[in-house]
Amino acid sequence: MGNAAAAVFGEDTRRDVPQSYAHMAGQIGMIYEPDTQTLCSAFCVAPNVVATASHCLFQPRKGRLPNLFDMSFRLEYRDLSLSSGIAGRMAGTPKHSVAVGTTRFGKEPPLSAPKDWALAKLERPICKFGTMNVSPRATDELIEASRERRIFQLSYHWDYTHWKLAYSDRCKIRRSFKGIEWRYIRQHFSGADDLLLHDCDTGGASSGSPILMDTTDGPVVVGLNVGTYTRTRLLLSQGDVVRRQKPDIIANTAVNVRAFAPVIGPLATRTMISTEREVIDLQKELQARNLYTGPIDGIFGRGTRSAIRAYESLRGETMTGLPTRLLLTTLITEGAGAAIEHQNVREWAVKPFD
């Protein structure tokens, strides 16, 4: 997987956004963090929530993680330029206001692309020019739509006109690419059912951009672009690599929006806990239910997020992993007696989501 160089399939079809889609330029911006020079596309899914790729927020660059305290979402539309940081940064808790599919990004299978999504709540509701219609669809429907030339992409790119939104014309979505059958491809990915393979022309800074489908009611977002799926050929001699051939680009990858669409509402409307004491209380309540086995340290990390998802799953709720005040209040109100009820699910519930 990678997303620095342009992945252009055949002729480069990128061009300026057609007039019929011009209004959508006010709904797509850029996520930027100056220390690591992180720059990705992102798009408005609620007045105060944007969607992007998780690796744009949580993947190290040159040995450093992007700093969520300095990360901002920028919108430039017509003569206006708007910017907002992530909610909670002034309280020291921006991570509390981010929902993710994964924060682990390995280069060896199983690859994380189908979980490489993130939703970030903003300090200010700057999505004033409308929000994109996120519309979960079955992969077979998207494949058929691409045959009908109804799939396209809007994105920013390092190698396109300086910070001008680009339109990638009529892309294909397929299960199999380059003669490799889906039954083999899916083995390389974790959560492959939410993976979309496509050939929209992508480049650096296009991670986090929307894959769109034309409908009778207008364009809807069906996928979130995350990277390029490549195959590296190695020549071995007695088990040692003697030559690496040029990687073969198989397809570009996106996340089906059904992976995160249900999380948008809870993130947009609920209040997050904001103090170390509250996180400690949350960890203790989850520990009492045998859902959390990490340290009681007041730090909202991967283990706490996974334990929240496990609790939400047990209650039949949308698995958000969000440390909301409503969640903490519910746990405290339930009381310690709930710990016995959850003991029999410990084996699977404590396994990290990602």
Cβ atoms of residues 175 and 143 within 8 Å: yes
Q: How many residues does the chain have?
A: 354
What pLDDT was estimated at residue 351? 27
Q: Tens-digit pLDDT profile for the chain (354 aa)?
A: 444 456 778 778 899 999 999 999 999 999 999 999 999 999 999 999 999 999 999 999 888 999 999 999 999 998 899 999 999 999 999 999 999 999 999 877 889 999 999 999 999 999 999 999 999 999 999 999 999 999 999 999 988 887 789 999 889 999 999 889 999 999 999 999 999 999 998 888 999 999 999 999 999 999 999 999 987 654 555 555 445 566 678 999 999 999 999 999 999 999 999 999 999 999 999 999 999 999 999 999 999 999 999 999 999 999 999 999 999 999 999 875 555 454 443 333 322 223
CA dihedral 301, 330, 271, 86 (to 10 degrees): 10
Q: Shortest CA distance to 202 belongs to which of 170, 155, 249?
A: 155
